[in-house]
Chains A and B, each alone.
Chain A
Amino acid sequence: MKRGLRLHRQDNCIVMLDDVRRGEAVAYDGGSVIANADVDLGHKLSIEAIAIGEKIRKYGASIGSATAAIAPGDHIHTHNLKSDYIVGFHH
């Protein structure tokens, strides 16, 4: 059962189709990765090693730049990804 969705072959992240727990394997079209954190439905998981400043790609397009080194299986979110345009609101 695939629990992750790779939206484009150039993407370096997948979208979770389910809530997964740290240590669980997440299969997606083209591979599998072990989650390094609890990651909920709709959130993103890295499937590649990504260096600081590198673009995160989803839908085959950039969704911003990495602000920390990211390992395969890491949760990608506000702690390691920022917009190349305008900040959003989170609290």
Chain B
Amino acid sequence: MATTTEKISEQMRLITQQGKMPPWYLKDLYRYLSAFAVLTVIYIGFRIYQGEFAVSTGLDSTDPVFETYWMRLFNFNVTFVTLFAGLSWGYLWFSRDKNLDTLEPKEEIRRYFTLTMWISVYTFAVYWAGSYFAEQDNSWHQVSVRDTPFTANHIIEFYFNFPMYVILGGCAWLYARTRLPLYAKGISLPLTLAVFGPFMILVSVGFNEWGHTFWYREEFFAAPIHWGFVIGVWFAHGVGGILLQGVTRLIELLDELEEAA
């Protein structure tokens, strides 16, 4: 009887312990979930701001209130993403691991999990930029008349959402390059494609807006001046190669781990 009670107590202790702290390979789980929460608040906040002020202040770029409500937001966005890029990329570079040759298999496994979390947060930002706010742009163009490249949706989509996923993709690339031996010895082609390809979407804003100086309307969304964005997003398929690289290495590392219960 006593043995059974002890076993139950031990099980309960283990469960409680597991409930409080994630296992070692998910050490960054709470940071990962926090990143999702922060980004969700930001993006939904943008949408609420648009719902509140776009129709009342965002239809005429010559109106002084447009300057107050939208160009100030544009200036804030550009400043914020510039600072965020410098801080996040700088932190990842200056805190890099300079002793990768002595990395233990367990620690390397944990870092592969963290890399996957970085890429996952990157794809979450890709969702908001490539799905929600991208198609919302079509909706806005069909109820307003474009008189500026800085519309109520472009200011958020082109000058916050696009740079944000570029920054987070860069973070994933830098994390891999500075903390994982295989990515430090060679430059992963699929990771580079998956990060630098969608980066070209940001650059395509220039082509798109140049095209719209000839055709100010959005006659149809599938117009060729939008296809630069399309080609950029194809490179997201590089994630398949990252998955294969990660799985192959994880299998090797798991083989090096001793069996645990």
| Genuine A/B complex | no
